[in-house]
Amino acid sequence: MLQQDAGNACTYFKRRTTGIISNVLGDYYITQHMRTYILRASGMRLGKGVRIRAPMHVERPDRLTIGESSFINREVYIDNTAAPVHIGKNVIIGFRTSITTSSHDPRSRDMEGRAITIGDDVWIGACATILPGIKIGDGAVVAGGAVITKDVEPYTMVGGVPARPIKSLRDDQ
């Protein structure tokens, strides 16, 4: 029991530390290199060359993986308490994007979580919302303000509320 309490305390400390670093200490007070080091120490899995602008809010750093050379802009909110989030390589996530893995049935209020996967070379515009269980394919583009309620096919541009395909981004079409 004592060991479990110590583990819970450690997890709590990591979350709070990450929150302070990501939300309170802005880009002017802490270098990108130092921010990356601290976020990795909190349990985030970050690839080489990842850049994260502050403030950013992540509920569970230990359930977030970001591939190399990806960029997360300011005020991105990632609620991954219920399931993990995987962000691929060379992904750009715009200002104030919201990514959430938890949902509930309004009648029962029972929480459920479904993982979110964002492929490689994806661009997500500012203020987009990505709902639980979504898979965004490689090379996709999500327009600013879009609400992603269904999976996005690779090399497809989507936009709107709810998001719908706008056009194919494949070279052969």
- So which residues are the catalytic ones? 104
> Are 156 and 125 spatial neighbours (Cβ–Cβ below 8 Å)?
no
DSSP track, the chain: -HHHHHHHHHHHHHHHHHHIIIIIS-TTTS-HHHHHHHHHHTT-EE-TT-EEPSSEEES-GGGEEE-TT-EE-TTEEEE-SSS-EEE-TT-EE-TT-EEE-EEE-TTT--EEE--EEE-TT-EE-TT-EE-TT-EE-TT-EE-TT-EE-S-B-TTEEEETTTTEEEEE--TT-
